[in-house]
Structures are given as C-alpha cells and as structure tokens.
Amino acid sequence: MIKTFSIGGIHPQDYKISAEASIENFPLAETAYISMSQHLGAPAEPVVAKGDYVKVGQLIAKANGFISANIHTSVSGKVISIEQLQDLAGNISQHIVIRREGDDWMENIDKSEDVIRTIKFSGEEIIAKIAENGIVGLGGAAFPTHIKLSPVPNKKAGCLIINGSECEPYLTSDYRVMIESPEQILIGTKIMMKALNVQSAFFGVEENKPKAIGILKEIAAKSYPYIKIVTLKKRYPQGGEKQLIDAITGRRVPSMGLPVDTGVVVQNVGTALAVYEAIQKNKPLFEGVVTITGECITEQRNFRLRVGTTYETIISAIGGFPKDAVKLISGGPMMGKAVSRMDAASVKSTSALLLLTENQTKRGEEGSCIRCAKCVNSCPMGLEPYLLNKLSMAGRVEDLEKHMVHDCIECGCCSYTCPSNIPLLDAIRLSKYQVLKIIRSRP
Amino acid sequence: MRKLLVSPAPHIHGRESTKGLMRDVIIALAPSLLVSIYFFGFSAIKLILVGVVSCVLVEYVIQKYIVKTKVTVSDCSAVVTGLLLALNLPPSAPWWIVFIGSVVAIGIAKMTFGGLGQNIFNPALVGRVFLLVSFPVIMTDWTIPVSWFRGGIDASSGATALSIVKEGLAQGLTMDQIFEANNFSYSRMLFSKIGGSVGEVSALALLAGMAYLLIRRVIKPHIPFSIIGTVFLFTGIFWLIDPQQYADPLFSILTGGILLGSIFMATDYVTSPMSKPGMILYGVGIGVITVLIRYFGSYPEGISFAILIMNACVPLINKYMHPRRFWKEVKNG
C-alpha cells in the first residue's frame, strides 16, 4: 500500500533529469576551504595550526560543546591559513584552508569496495564512533547524528525511519546512493538500529523511484527482514520529518516537540551511508554525493564531492556558468539556499547544486490576495499562511503565536501555490523565528 | 565576478495565476452559456455581452479615472462577475437593467471595498438583488423572449417551477395537482425545459461546470456539496412530514438557483471562508436559510439572499473556524 501524510502538500513536477547519471568522483580541487560551522550547534575548534601537514580523513577540528561535531580534512596537504570566510549566504565563520598535495589518506581508512556485514561494536561504541567521525544529518539540517541516536531522558525510540523520499524536484543524490550502494545503506540502518536499541525500521521511498524500491526490497527481504521498505506517494513535502512520520506510523509530532516524542528517530539515506562508512570502514564524513543539475546545463551529473570545494570550482568543472542561468541553489528548488558567493565552499550537508534560468525562477508580479485558500489547503501543518502573512506585516506577535506560526516547516508550499504570487513564506519565516525566540526565552 | 540572483526559498512557483483561475471559471460557465443562448437566443447573447462589457468598463473607469490606481481588468474577475450577473437575470430582462446591475456590482459591491479580494459580498449577487428589489416586476417576469432557435421550452410555462409551486400552494392545490397541471418531470429539470433565469435553465450544464472546476481543483467540493446536501436533507424532512405541501428534495435541488448558486456564486473565493470546516458551516448556513426563505418567506427563491447573509458571516467564520492543524495543542490547565 502506498502511504502518505494526511494534510496539505503539493504536486510539483519532479524534474529528476539527473537520475540516470552514475556517481563519479569529482576531480580534487587545489585548495579546500573547510568551515568550522557545517552543523547545527557550536562551531568546531581547530586542532591543527598553520603549516601543519594533514592527511585525508585526519581530524582537524574538535566538537566544541554538547551540540557540535568533529571535522576532518577532505584533502591531504598543508594548512595554509585559518581564517574567517563567508559561507554561501554571506555568514562569516572560521575556515581551515588547506593547499592540496596529492591524495594521501589516513592509513586506518578502508578504501576497498568490500561490503562489511558484521557489526563488531556495541550500541555505545557505535554512538561514540559516529561522534568521532563527525557524522551529521545529511537531509538538510546537519544535526549531529550521535546526539540524535543518543538516548533522551524519559523518551524511548521504538523504531527508526530512513528517509529516502527525496521529495524535492531535481534532486537525485539520495536516489543514486540507493541504486549504487543499497546494501551499504541497509547495513548503516542496521547499525543505527543497534545504537538506538530498536527492533524495527522503516525505509520510506517515493513511488517515482521504482528501481530503488525494487533493489532495496530484494536485498532487505533476503538479508535484513526487520527493515521494511515503504512506498510513499509522490507528493511534496513527503520527506519532511513530521510528514514522513505521519505517513509511515500515523503518529503526529507535537508542536515544538521532537520526533522521539512519537517514539521515532528519522535519518536520511545519505546519513545511513555515512554511518556505514564510519563504522565499517573507519571513514569520517568528508565527502558526499552531490547532484549538479538544471535544464540550462547540457550534462546532468551526480558527483562524489569532497567537503570544502568552492562553487567556482564545481561550476567550472561542468563547463562554467551557463549563459541563461541566473540563480545557483544549494539544495532543491523548494527549500534550498540561493548561493550568493561563488567563492564559498561546499559543506557536509551539500546535496545538490541547481542552476535555474530567469524564466524558471522569476517571481511573478504580486497581486492582491483573492482569498482562494490555496495556501491554506496546501499547508502540510494545517496553518493559515494568508493570515500569518498579514499578521506578520502588522507585527502582531501574540496572534502569530496563537495561530501557531512556530509550527511552520518552511516547505514553501504556500508561496509555490499562491496565484497572486504573494511571497507568503518570506514574511512567515521572519515572524516564525521571532516567535520561536519568545517561546524559548520563557522559563 | 558573476552576478547571482539571491532570494529566499522557494525558488520555483506553481505558475497558477488569478487570471488562469478566472479563465477556468469562464470555461466552466461555457456549457451554461451555450445552453442559454440555444434556448433564449439573442436575448441571452445580449444580456451576457452587456453584462461582461459593462462590468469590465465600470472597473476600468473606476480604477483609471476615479481611484487612479493600477488597472487590473486583465485579471478577468470583472468578466466573471459580468457573466454571473447575466446568468442570474430573467431572459426577458432589458439590456439597460444589466448595465445598472453591473454598475452596482462592480462600482458599489466591489470597488468601494477596495477591489478584488477586499469585498465582503459577492458582487454579482449584490447587483442581482439590487435589481430584484428595485425592479421587482421586470425581475420576476419570466416570459420567454422570441428567439430564432428556441428549442423546446413550453410557451405556457414561462414562470419558474418554484413560483408555480408557491402560487399553486397559495391557491390551495396539492403537490400532485401542481405537478400534473404543469407536467413537471426530472428530465425536464435536468435538460432545461422549465423556465428560470438565464443560467438556471439546464441543471446538467451547471453540473458539467462543477465537474470541470473540481477536476481542475479551482474549487473544493465542500461548499457546493454542503449546500446541496443541506437543501436535500432539510427539504426532505419537510417532504416526509407532508408530501402534498412540500416539494420532494430532488425537485428542490434541480429547480431554482440552488445549482447555479452553490457551484458558481457561493464558491466565490473572496466572499467564502478560508478553512474547510468554515466552508462546510457556510454551506450548511446557506442551505438552511434558502429553504427557510422558500418555505416561509414571501419570495419563491432565497438562495441569493442566503448567500449574501452568509457572506456577511464569513469574517466571523474565518475568525473561529480554523483548518485542521497538524498538531492540535492540548490545553493543560
């Protein structure tokens, strides 16, 4: 049976034009710019100094605080500087800049293609190793994985959900991983099940990826019967954490709550692969699969890309910025971030680079709200975007909270669907953070 | 360095537009327009043309010369108002009455409130009701104009089915006698052989329009279905109590303006509620008020008034009826 979430959602055309491009290794850049703020939480603290020689996979920065993650170098070579640089949005963070010399890996990393099936570690050892290897959630938020897998007081996870829905248009990196490393991600799933001490796992994949569903089902049935492959309806935002839990278990994550409140932990396909590699291959998270796509480029690609590669380098590798492209997006067209600087570098959670032409991304002229209620009907959280937009404009913070603006998941369905081209989410997002701040400041 | 376009997500749009939605409504009205032209000939063409042209003209003149704001007639909402106004008039209505209706509909009901999206009452209905109270004789004269291609309307039954029933009951006739005397049948109601306003002639054409609107997701089924359902249920109760004094529920739905009103008038975006529970409440309200006016008021038909009354309640409905939230906050002490 095909499952889906219960309210709202939209059906954008999926444009998975890069789906058939196999994963290739991206040519190594001359210089890597590795940010200390690649994850949610406190920036990591550098443990190398200018002039040090580092090997691929070597720890260069240590987690600093409870919510933070280790960072490892993606290239071998000399640290040439540690400086404040801007990220894709212009935010400044500390970066370790490494001039590459060859491709010299840490000896303990298993570079072979062998699939290692036996798990030698206990739950605690797994969580410790995941932390050590700097794994973060690759679904977008980059939340440190070891924290998500650690037990929360008074809350018990009963099952694990792997998010393979990849519901954003254009993105195909998770799809390629599911096609090319299906058993590795199932082992990664098994490892996380052990860490969480749960007996069952669900693996949700949207119906527009029948090949991935077929392969995963076959392997799971043969060797991992406790992992259930669930076919999901093609509907955005199917891969939203709350929507996915609703679709698969029928449970609703409370407002301001966590998935674990429903007894579920959700991890992404990319994270499952990173976990497999960290535990079975001793490989820290310093590279990941990135889709490079857009109808304005001739060749659609899926690359295995090292962290810290600048957008400049990536775009020149595909033959430069296409003439008619105006916007470069890191991520998907619904929730991705527009890149503002080509000299900014990729991070652990970079999953796609999408090039859009003016025609594709141009915002139409804003008209008056005709009260068609399309935003209300498309909101997967059951909110009233037209109202939240108006309240935001009026700065009515109390009413915004009453109408649950803090529940907004920023999926963009409201703006996407508005026939009057009102940028609903722009205003709602701003007041959402304002209201969240107020809620969190309460005793 | 290359100039990059930077803006917040989402970076793509569904490409649906106000104009596109209005175009869909016009397409959905097409079957009813064609049927009315077939039955009423030039009279229907005249009403429709005058309605559309004067609505657009009034909006243009007000925006360009009076308010001096951006002219937005290209969004086609005035075209829809004009069409709906024409469809709500008796086929024999003179052209100038449509013009007056248009001035009231656009000028008073829409533009004085601030134009598209701001009006509280459905403009076409305000126009119609204004005409009904101002020109009661013309607006209830259901004689069928001479037409080149008049199909099969009975020359004898110019009056609407509802007024025939109301008058018959007043004369002390029973339902059976009225039905027999006027040769009413469901097929006549479906295929347009009973008099009524321009757009009410064929139930089938209206239903085809509804199907189109639902398939194209222009409207949600909540409003039309709750109105039709309520009318069916409410008139059904009366009918069960005394079938000789009250028409049967199917007759009640197929005659008068229930279909035209519930599919095209009550679903007007601007003047209907935003949440699904609100839409259902609004529809039930319209259904109940319509039946009350039909059975206990002095007018044979009450859906126009019912919709306008419920239009007035929409801000209140929006304030208290919210969509089903993903997570309903539990109030704990």
**What whole-number distance in Å separates Cα of residue B5 and Cα of residue A324?**
12
Scanning A79-206, the segments in alpha helix (DSSP H) are 123-132, 145-149, 173-180, 182-196
Q: d(Cα B116, Cα B14) in Å, to the nearest integer?
A: 21
Closest CA to A266 of A113, A134, A424, A160: A160
| Structure confidence at residue B191 (pLDDT) | 63
Q: Is the pLDDT of residue B181 over 90?
A: no
CB contacts of A415 in chain B (<8 Å) are 10, 13
Mean pLDDT of the A206-231 span: 96
Mean pLDDT calculated for residue range A120-136: 95
Query: How many domains does chain B contain in total?
Result: 1
Tell me whether residue B178 is in a domain: no
Average pLDDT for A311-319 = 92
B175 belongs to a structural domain? no
**What is the nearest CA distance from B118 to chain A, expressed in angstroms?**
8
Chain A segment 400-429 residues within 8 A of B by beta carbon are: 403-404, 407, 410, 412, 415-421, 423, 425-426, 429
Residues of chain B numbered 72-111 and touching chain A (CB < 8 Å): 72, 75, 77
- Which amino acid appears at position A308 of this protein? G
pLDDT tens-digit series, residues B277-312: 999 999 999 999 999 999 998 888 889 999 999 999
Those of residues 249-308 in B touching chain A at CB distance below 8 A are: 269-270, 272-276
Read off the pLDDT of each residue in B87-91 and give the average, rounded to a whole number: 91
Categorize the per-residue pLDDT at B147 as very low, low, confident or very high, splitting at 50, 70 and 90.
Answer: low
Comparison of pLDDT for A303 and B177, the residue scoring more: A303
A50: pLDDT confidence band, cut at 50, 70 and 90?
Answer: very high
Which chain A residue's Cα is nearest to B116?
A370
Verify whether the Cβ–Cβ distance B9 to A335 is below 8 Å: yes
Answer whether residue B37 is part of any domain.
yes
CA atoms B310, B316, B321, B322: torsion sign: positive
Q: Which of residues 156-215 of A touch B (CB under 8 A)?
A: 169
Closest in A334, A341, A374 to B9, CB measured: A334
The whole-number pLDDT of residue B329 equals 58
Average the pLDDT over B323-330 and give the result. 79
| Residue B119 CA: distances (Å) to CA of A292, B99, B122 | 47, 20, 7
Looking at every residue in chain A, the average pLDDT score rounds to 94
To the nearest whole Å, the CA of A336 is away from the closest chain B CA by 6
Tell whether A21 is within 8 A of chain B (Cβ). Answer: no
Query: Do the domain assignments include residue B227?
Result: no
B12 CB neighbours in chain A (<8 A) are 12, 169, 333-334, 356, 360-361, 416
B98 token code pair: 């449509």
Tell me the mean pLDDT in the region A92-119. Answer: 94
Full 3-state SS string of chain B: CCCCCCCCCCCCCCCCCHHHHHHHHHHHHHHHHHHHHHHHCHHHHHHHHHHHHHHHHHHHHHHHHHCCCCCCHHHCHHHHHHHHHHHCCCCCCCHHHHHHHHHHHHHHHHHHHCCCCCCCCCHHHHHHHHHHHHCHHHHCCCCCCCCCCCCCCCCCCCCEHHHHHHHHHHCCCCHHHHHHHHCCCHHHHHHCCCECCHHHCCHHHHHHHHHHHHHCCCCCCHHHHHHHHHHHHHHHHHHHHCCCCCCCHHHHHHCCCHHHHHHHHCCCCCCCCCCHHHHHHHHHHHHHHHHHHHHHCCCCCCHHHHHHHHHHHHHHHHHHCCCCCCCCCCCCC
Domains and CATH numbers, chain A: 123-281 (3.40.50.11540), 374-441 (no CATH)
Interchain contact B62–A (C-beta under 8 A): no
- Residues paired with residue A282 on neighbouring β-strands, in sequence order: none
Q: With respect to residue B63, please indicate whether it lies within any of the assigned structural domains.
A: yes
Q: Is B329 on the interface with A (CB under 8 A)?
A: yes
When pLDDT is averaged across residues A345-372 and rounded to a whole number, the result is 93
**Structure confidence at residue B152 (pLDDT):** 46
Of A138-152, A228-242, A285-299, B122-136, the range with the lowest mean pLDDT is A138-152
pLDDT at B316: 96
Has residue B78 been placed in a domain?
yes
Tens of pLDDT, residue by residue over B219-261, are 999 999 999 999 999 999 999 999 888 988 998 898 888 999 9
- E strand spans, A21-153: 23-25, 31-35, 45-46, 53-54, 59-62, 71-72, 77-86, 92-100
Could you tell me if residue B237 is inside a domain?
A: no
d(Cα B175, Cα A414) in Å, to the nearest integer? 52
| Residue range(s) defining the domain that contains residue B47 | 18-139
- Specify if B302 maps to a domain: no
